[in-house]
Amino acid sequence: MPDMTKGRSPFYPGQPVPVELFVGRAEQIRRIMERGVGQVAAGKPVAMFVQGEYGIGKSSIAGVVQRLAENGHSLHSIYAPLGGARTLEDVAAAVLEATLRSGAFDASKSERVRNWLAKYIGQQELFGFTLNAAALKQDAPQIANSSRMLGFLGEVRKRLEDRGVKGVFLALDEINGLTRGADFAHFIKGLVDTNAMSPEPLPLLLMLCGVEERRREMIEKHRPVERIFDVVEIESMRNEETEEFFRRAFDSEGMSVEPKAMGLLVHYSAGFPKIMHLLGDNAYWADRDGVVSAEDAIEAVAMAAEDVGTKYVDQQVYGALRSADYRTILAKIARLDPSELSFTKGDIEAGLTQTQKLKLNNFLQKMKRLKVLRSGELRGEYVFTNRMVRLYIWLKSQRPPAGAS
Ligand SMILES: Nc1ncnc2c1ncn2[C@@H]1O[C@H](COP(=O)(O)OP(=O)(O)O)[C@@H](O)[C@H]1O
Ligand SMILES: [Mg+2]
């Protein structure tokens, strides 16, 4: 068997996808460009909420539109991941840092920003810099309220005006840790209102990325938040888009994919970008001859299932799902549409023996205790609270699409 030395895997299970491999989302991109970027470039501030589940592609789409906005629409893009932020001071520090790192697509802009904010740079290095964390922490509180933050963003634009910058595109990603308290909701609403009421509003595109529950949580804390966002929903990918992704990704490494293998990869990805990358990565490593075959794809599905099981499923749940007792039940669940998170007990119960029915009850109770399932609105309805668990069951089932085996 010819053995290839591997190049670089074109798959990125844990990161936003590089632009060359970004597929689909044409409609959402158009909407963000027209109603967001276009309006802001014309002088009107806009707030958008990019909404969708974990792993569906929110950060990736934010990256793509920020780049487009930067490159032909005269907005200056700042991308602030707020994963570690709990307070408004943390948010302010993250925005400061993100500003310092902004302008990556245009050296003259990034240089300008760095000179302005030089005191927050700890050490210049050959390819970048380290932060002066103490200075950042000390000054962040100064911009930790909406009007000061607005002032700061206005200053960013002013400093870049002669570089053709008309407005600022601030993306706040990974807001999970912030929405429980009321102050973040007030801060965001304040930012929008203060700007709207100022005599000369800053052309600001404020974009938040998060799951729907986080937006609801903000509304619960501060009702008027409901009105400020244009919500852009990110859903699962279409099969053609998934297929295009695999083709492009393998192609970029000079590899090809047999039709049967393609069928399997698309089928098991279930339109879910995160799974797409996990599967692709495993197929990339399973392959030995530059042609991804059905065997490679099947091996990849088994490996991806283990990846999902060990990395994204709680260990207690993972253990329970491996119990032989539940095999029949899981096989029946796996047969349902993987993009549906809910099912009814009746769907699963049909055709089970008395013993299996007892096991089903036991299973449902246990999964509820482990918070993997919750009761739905209908009688006998159950809903998966975690898409990755649902997809683990799907990948584990090894039930190829019709005609693939
Ligand atoms: N449009 C896309 N084309 C190709 N890969 C994508 C696309 N969107 C997301 N991905 C990939 O899917 C995974 C999850 O994407 P990410 O943007 O991090 O999702 P989220 O921010 O919603 O959790 C990453 O591995 C990313 O590279
Ligand atoms: Mg993300």
Extents of the domains making up the chain: 25-233
For a pLDDT cut of 90, what percent of the chain falls above it?
75
Which protein residue has the closest C-alpha to ligand 1 atom 2? 22
68-96: average pLDDT:
94
Task: Report the predicted TM-score, pTM, of the whole model to 2 decimal places.
Answer: 0.90
Nearest atom within ligand 1 for CA of residue 234: 22
Q: How far is the CA of 320 from the centre of ligand 2 (A)?
A: 29
Q: What is the mean pLDDT of the chain?
A: 92
Q: How many Cα atoms are found within 13 Å in the side-chain-facing hemisphere of 225?
A: 22
How large is the average pLDDT for residues 174-182? 94
Fold of the domain spanning 25-233:
Rossmann fold (3.40.50)
Tell me the C-alpha to C-alpha distance, in Å, between residue 30 and each of 61, 69, 95: 11, 12, 26
For 356, which DSSP code? H
Indicate which residue's Cα is closest to atom 13 of ligand 1: 274
Q: Is the pLDDT assigned to residue 16 strictly greater than 50? A: yes
Residue nearest to atom 3 of ligand 1 (CA): 22
Mean pLDDT, range 211-225, rounded to an integer: 96
Confidence of residue 401 (pLDDT cuts 50, 70, 90): low
Q: Which ligand is nearest to the CA of 174?
A: 2
> Does residue 143 have a pLDDT over 70?
yes
Nearest CA to ligand 1 atom 11: 273
Q: Rounded to the nearest whole angstrom, what is the distance from the C-alpha of residue 386 to the centroid of ligand 2?
A: 16
Ligand that comes closest to the CA of residue 249? 1
Interatomic CA distance for residues 131 and 47, integer angstroms: 29
Name the residue at shortest CA distance from atom 9 of ligand 1: 57
Report which ligand 1 atom has the smallest distance to the Cα of 273.
Answer: 12
Q: Is 15 exposed, middle or buried (0-12, 13-18, 19+ CB in 10 A)?
A: exposed
Instruction: Choose which residue among 25, 58, 60 to substitute to test ligand 1 binding: the one with the highest number of ligand atoms within 8 A of its C-beta.
Output: 60
Which residues, including other chains, have CB under 8 Å from residue 120's CB and lie 6 or more apart? 96, 97, 100, 131, 132, 135, 136, 139
Distance, in Å, from the CA atom of 371 to the CA atom of 368, rounded to the nearest integer, reads: 5
Q: Which residue's CA is minimally distant from atom 18 of ligand 1? A: 16
Give me Rg for the CA atoms of the chain. 24
Instruction: State which amino acid sits at residue 182.
Output: A
Q: Which of 12-21, 60-69, 263-272, 367-376 has the lowest mean pLDDT?
A: 12-21
Q: Provide mean pLDDT across the span 207-225.
A: 96
Ligand nearest to the CA of residue 79, numbered in listed order: 2
Question: Is pLDDT above 70 for 4?
Answer: no
Per-residue model confidence (pLDDT) at position 271:
93
Q: How far is the CA of 221 from the centre of ligand 1 (A)?
A: 29
Q: Which ligand is nearest to the CA of 58?
A: 1
Residue with tokens 């005609």: 403
Q: Say if residue 306's pLDDT is above 80.
A: yes
The token pair at 116 is 């302005």
Provide residues with CB under 6 Å of ligand 1. 12-13, 15-17, 21-25, 52, 54-60, 245, 273-274, 277
Whether residue 1 is predicted with pLDDT greater than 50 in this model: the reply is no
Q: Measured in angstroms, how far is the CA atom of residue 283 from the centroid of ligand 1? A: 18
Per-residue confidence band for 280, with pLDDT thresholds at 50, 70 and 90 = very high
Q: Which atom of ligand 1 is nearest to the CA of 21?
A: 4
Position 11 pLDDT exceeds 70: yes
Closest-lying ligand to the alpha carbon of 51? 1
Q: Which atom of ligand 1 is nearest to the CA of 24?
A: 1
Nearest CA to ligand 1 atom 15: 57
Structure tokens at 210: 């998060």
Estimate the crossing angle of helix 294-312 against helix 259-269, to 10 degrees: 20
Residue (of 167, 138, 200, 173) closest to 74 by Cα position? 167
Which residue would you say has higher pLDDT here, 357 or 129?
357
- The residues pairing with 340 across neighbouring beta strands, listed in sequence order, are none
The span from the CA of 61 to the CA of 88, in Å, is: 25
Whether the pLDDT of residue 49 is over 70: the answer is yes
